[in-house]
């Protein structure tokens, strides 16, 4: 067996173990985000009625739709140009990044996201000082590239890094997973951080070549 074959098999084995561990961790509740506690209703359709939106919510929704469309176009272009296959985008395979806690992961496309999705998110984040984050996630809550303010250099101190370096993690807390898997036009949820800050999370679906892949999340505080 050649060296390249051994490397490939090793990578696949590592990825399989990571995916299995992730599934088990979700059942055990080990990946729940300690910073966020959801206040949304349990009904899957809660927060998807546009008639109940405030003027601010409607503005954020308009930005989210426009931003989401740009991100969908970017991903579709990746596939069209051969930078990544559609099969890889929907494989939901995560490769553990060593010595990270909480665990971070690479994927077949996270470097592409750092290059092409990151600037779109930053542009959308700058639309209002009330917006605290704009992030793209897959259906499992995996976040390939975060905003600059949450992508600071790792320090090795868990509590500092937990706040300042949140990129390439899986956010499958109740708010995160509902945002990631929502296929309605939008989903508005309410939650608070351990700082006591109440925030809204408005998400829109992200579709890759017409197939639901994940979501775009806007986190913001009320005016």
Average pLDDT over residues 43-59: 75
3-220 belongs to which homologous superfamily?
PAS domain (3.30.450.20)
Q: CB neighbours (10 Å) of residue 207?
A: 17
Question: Which of 49-58, 143-152, 182-191 is predicted least confidently?
Answer: 143-152
Task: Dump pLDDT digits (tens) for 156-167.
Answer: 767 766 666 688
Does the pLDDT of residue 187 top 70, yes or no? yes
Of 112, 166, 117, 118, nearest to 142 by C-alpha is 166
Q: Above 80 in pLDDT, residue 40?
A: no
Q: What's the pLDDT score for residue 194?
A: 39
Report the pLDDT value the prediction gives residue 118, as an integer from 0 to 100: 95
In this predicted structure, what is the pLDDT of residue 36? 34
Q: Give me the long-range contacts of 33-37 (CB less than 8 A, separation at least 24).
A: 33/171, 33/173, 33/176, 34/162, 34/194, 35/162, 35/163, 35/193, 35/194, 36/171, 36/173, 36/175, 36/176, 36/191, 36/192, 36/193, 37/173, 37/191, 37/192, 37/194
pLDDT band at 48 (very low <50, low <70, confident <90, very high): low
Q: Locate tokens 């639309």: which residue?
A: 127
Contacts of 55 (CB under 8 A, 6+ apart): none
| Domain ranges, ordered by start, for the chain | 3-220
**Confidence check: pLDDT of 6 > 60:** no
Section 44-60 average pLDDT = 79
pLDDT tens per residue, range 106-135: 999 999 999 999 999 999 999 999 999 999
Instruction: Please give the residue that has the higher pLDDT: either 55 or 165.
Output: 55
């Amino acid at each position: 067996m050649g060296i390249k074959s051994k490397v490939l098999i090793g990578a696949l084995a590592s990825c399989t173990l990571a995916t299995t561990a992730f599934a088990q961790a979700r059942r055990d509740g080990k990946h729940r985000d300690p910073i966020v506690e959801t206040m949304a209703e349990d009904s899957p359709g809660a927060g998807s009625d546009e008639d109940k939106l405030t003027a601010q919510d409607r503005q954020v929704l308009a930005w989210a739709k426009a931003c989401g469309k740009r991100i969908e176009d970017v991903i579709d272009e990746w596939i069209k140009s051969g930078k990544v296959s559609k099969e890889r985008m929907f494989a939901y395979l995560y490769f553990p990044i060593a010595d990270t806690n909480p665990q971070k992961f690479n994927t077949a496309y996270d470097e592409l996201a750092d290059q092409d999705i990151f600037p779109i998110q930053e542009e959308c984040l700058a639309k209002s000082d009330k917006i605290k984050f704009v992030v793209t996630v897959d259906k499992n809550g995996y976040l390939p590239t975060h905003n600059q303010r949450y992508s600071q250099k790792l320090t090795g101190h868990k509590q500092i890094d937990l706040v300042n370096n949140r990129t390439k993690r899986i956010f499958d807390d109740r708010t995160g997973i509902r945002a990631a898997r929502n296929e309605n036009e939008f989903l508005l949820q309410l939650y608070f951080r351990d700082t006591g800050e109440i925030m809204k999370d408005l998400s829109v679906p992200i579709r890759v070549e017409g197939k639901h892949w994940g979501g775009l999340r806007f986190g913001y505080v009320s005016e």
